[in-house]
A and B are shown apart, each in its own frame.
Chain A
């Protein structure tokens, strides 16, 4: 009962039991099973090996597997907890759990800190902030003079760097986000509450894709 895909899942590298993942995340067992449907779709879109490769994340985000982007790289790196170049099912569910509407705000703040700490020094540094600003301007085809960019970066950095030591630490980041809650808006995906409707894993899939 309820084991119709157990044979297939046993063969999937990195597969973890939904009951285990549900116990560690805000998801129910049914939601984890629904996420497995999404995971299968994403992890077979370029290389059908049951693992999400960077190209597959890029394809899902941009509809283009070759389009690279600083932020997509950082998202991939944070999801790839084992740092082995692929996202396994357990990593996918645990990472998406942070984006659940019921996930602790602390977890969302921590995730964004790690996202913006590009060089993983334990601090968000001014150069990293400028690099990210330049990346979003490039991505958006927005043109701002270097003077304007410098002014924006300086102002934001001085607002966040309460200790004035030239770097933003996790404590300062938490304080800054509490004053600017919109900074973690992207960290909540309402879709995750309806994931069983979008991917009804309880309906036996025919595995036949429309093209």
Chain B
């Protein structure tokens, strides 16, 4: 098949943004 079988989910890609990981707020 010419179609890509396993494309990454766009929202999973977006979730990789460091800005969406608020654990940085707790770093000393």
Q: Residues of A with Cβ closer than 8 Å to B?
A: 38, 42, 60-62, 69-72, 75, 96, 99, 115-116, 129, 132-133, 135-136, 139-140, 151-153, 155-157, 159-160, 176, 180, 182-183, 185-186, 189, 191, 195, 198
From A139, A160, A195, B18 is in contact (CB under 8 Å) with A139
Within 8 A of A (CB), among B1-28: 4, 7-26
Q: Determine the main DSSP class of B at the interface with A.
A: helix
Measured between alpha carbons, how far is A195 from B15 in the docked complex, in Å? Answer: 24
The residue of chain B having its C-beta at the shortest distance from the C-beta of A130 within the complex is B10
- Which residues of chain B come closer than 8 Å to A151, judged between CB atoms? 4, 7
- Given contacts A38-B25, A38-B26, whether A133 and B17 have CB atoms under 8 Å apart is no
Measured between alpha carbons, how far is A21 from B22 in the docked complex, in Å? Answer: 20
- Which residues of chain B come closer than 8 Å to A185, judged between CB atoms? 15
The residue of chain A having its C-beta at the shortest distance from the C-beta of B19 within the complex is A71
Q: Determine the main DSSP class of A at the interface with B.
A: helix
A42 touches B25 (CB 8 A): yes
A186 touches B15 (CB 8 A): yes
- Which residues of chain B come closer than 8 Å to A42, judged between CB atoms? 25
A180 touches B17 (CB 8 A): no
A189 touches B22 (CB 8 A): yes
B10 touches A182 (CB 8 A): no
From A61, A183, A191, A195, B11 is in contact (CB under 8 Å) with A183
Measured between alpha carbons, how far is A28 from B7 in the docked complex, in Å? Answer: 42
- Which residues of chain A come closer than 8 Å to B16, judged between CB atoms? 136, 140
- Given contacts A38-B26, A61-B25, whether A75 and B12 have CB atoms under 8 Å apart is no
Given contacts A71-B17, A96-B22, 18 further A-B contacts (CB under 8 A): A38-B26, A42-B25, A61-B24, A75-B22, A132-B14, A136-B16, A136-B17, A151-B4, A152-B10, A155-B7, A155-B10, A156-B9, A159-B9, A176-B11, A180-B9, A180-B11, A180-B12, A191-B23
B11 touches A186 (CB 8 A): no
What are 24 A-B pairs with beta-carbon distances under 8 A? Answer: A38-B26, A60-B25, A61-B18, A61-B22, A62-B18, A62-B24, A71-B17, A75-B22, A96-B22, A132-B10, A133-B14, A135-B17, A136-B13, A136-B16, A139-B19, A152-B7, A176-B11, A182-B15, A183-B11, A183-B12, A183-B15, A185-B15, A189-B23, A189-B26
